[in-house]
């Protein structure tokens, strides 16, 4: 198993080079992206610079979706970019929950592990995801807000990465973002809407920080396609409601298949499931031999994350491959 596959998901072309087949032959379950994306349509004018009024419309539509005032919402070219910009803007050491995103550790330097609810000793930045990745742990929003208030009193910041929160709107703390609170919320467009290639995200935070981020990003923070498609997607309330209702059913079907093969799934996020206590390398290699890509973790031996298959045919393909693995 190459080190490339434990860095992040989505490396289908590399998997095809190592294990054979063409990229289109592979079933990619290595990411936490919605495999049935929002149906992007429309014509993008690539000849004009992105329109500032279109940016304002996008941020207003996204802010309504998040439940936050538009002036507290800043569009960015992906939440990973936002983390690295925030590290420069805040200029403080970081603490990140374990397990957690690799970028949470990489963005802030120096960076140390943290526990949820831990009291800061000095001015620093705490970063964690809710729901968390890769274990899918979902924390109560009231507990998150209470922790943010305690962190704020110490002069530190809390960054809540809500990349998967569209699946759990009731657990978001976006509504609590306010001018006087050192809490920052990150939102990702690509996970729930399934259009990761658009590289669109949002930072929700105090107005002074939003102003600083806009200065750092410059006049055209996101491209024309992100402006057009992002606005339309956030305004598509029917698709959003339908997708929120369908995702748990697909996740439960994946749980049943994994359980049938002796693999117990963990996590609350309906876009992925984590299996622990398995022979991760053997499982990865055997599934790769069947042109199915999953996500192992170098820092957590015995862990494998499965993205939720798009449809019954993809689930049946995984079921068949797992039967061959077990055999």
Task: Give pLDDT tens digits along the chain (327 positions).
Answer: 656 676 668 899 999 999 999 999 999 999 999 999 999 988 999 999 999 999 999 999 999 999 999 999 999 999 999 999 999 999 999 999 999 998 999 999 888 999 999 988 889 999 999 999 999 999 999 999 999 999 999 999 999 999 999 999 999 999 999 999 999 999 999 999 999 999 999 999 999 999 999 999 999 999 999 999 999 999 999 999 999 999 999 999 999 999 999 999 999 999 999 999 999 999 999 999 999 999 999 889 999 999 999 999 999 999 999 996 554
Q: What is the 3-state secondary structure (H, E, C) of 192-220?
A: HHCCHHHCCEEEECCHHHHHHHHHHHCCC
Classify residue 311 as left (phi > 0), alpha (psi -120 to 50) or beta.
Answer: beta
pLDDT at res. 10? 83
By C-alpha distance, which of 274, 275, 316 is closest to 27?
316
Tell me whether the CATH fold assigned to 3-30+238-326 matches the one assigned to 52-235. no
Q: pTM of the prediction?
A: 0.95
Just give the CATH number of 52-235: 3.40.640.10
> Per-domain residue ranges for the chain?
3-30+238-326, 52-235
Region label for 86, one of left (φ > 0), alpha (ψ between -120 and 50) or beta (otherwise): alpha
Distant-in-sequence, close-in-space partners of 115: CB < 8 Å, separation ≥ 6: 97
Q: What residues does 126 pair with on adjacent strands?
A: 95, 158
3-30+238-326 fold: 3.90.1150
């Amino acid at each position: 198993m190459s080190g490339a596959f434990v860095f992040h998901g989505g490396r289908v072309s590399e998997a095809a080079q190592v294990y054979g087949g063409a990229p289109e032959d592979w079933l990619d379950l290595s990411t936490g992206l919605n495999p049935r994306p929002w149906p992007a349509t429309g014509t993008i004018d690539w000849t004009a610079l992105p329109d500032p009024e279109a940016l304002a419309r996008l941020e207003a539509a996204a802010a309504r979706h998040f439940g936050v005032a538009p002036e507290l919402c800043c569009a960015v070219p992906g939440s990973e970019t936002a983390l690295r910009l925030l590290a420069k803007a805040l200029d403080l050491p970081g603490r990140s929950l374990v397990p957690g995103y690799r970028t949470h550790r990489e963005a802030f330097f120096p960076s140390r592990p943290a526990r949820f609810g831990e009291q800061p000793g000095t001015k620093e930045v705490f970063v964690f995801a809710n729901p968390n990745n890769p274990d899918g742990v979902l924390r109560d929003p009231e507990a998150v807000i209470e922790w943010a208030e305690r962190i704020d009193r110490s002069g530190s910041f809390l960054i809540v990465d809500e990349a998967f929160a569209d699946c759990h709107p009731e657990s978001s703390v976006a509504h609590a973002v306010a001018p006087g609170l050192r809490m920052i919320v990150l939102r990702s467009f690509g996970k729930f809407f399934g259009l990761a290639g658009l590289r669109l995200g949002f930072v929700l935070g105090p107005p002074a920080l939003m102003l600083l981020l806009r200065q750092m990003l410059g006049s055209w923070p996101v491209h024309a396609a992100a402006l057009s498609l992002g606005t339309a997607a956030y305004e598509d309330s029917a698709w959003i409601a339908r997708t929120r209702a369908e995702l748990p059913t697909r996740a439960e079907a994946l749980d049943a298949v994994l359980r049938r093969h002796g693999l117990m799934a963990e996590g609350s996020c309906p876009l992925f499931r984590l299996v622990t206590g398995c022979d991760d390398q053997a499982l990865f290699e055997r599934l790769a031999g069947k042109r199915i890509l999953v996500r192992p973790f170098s820092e957590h031996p015995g862990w494998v994350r499965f993205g939720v298959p798009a449809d019954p045919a993809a689930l049946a393909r995984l079921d068949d491959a797992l039967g061959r693995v077990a055999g």
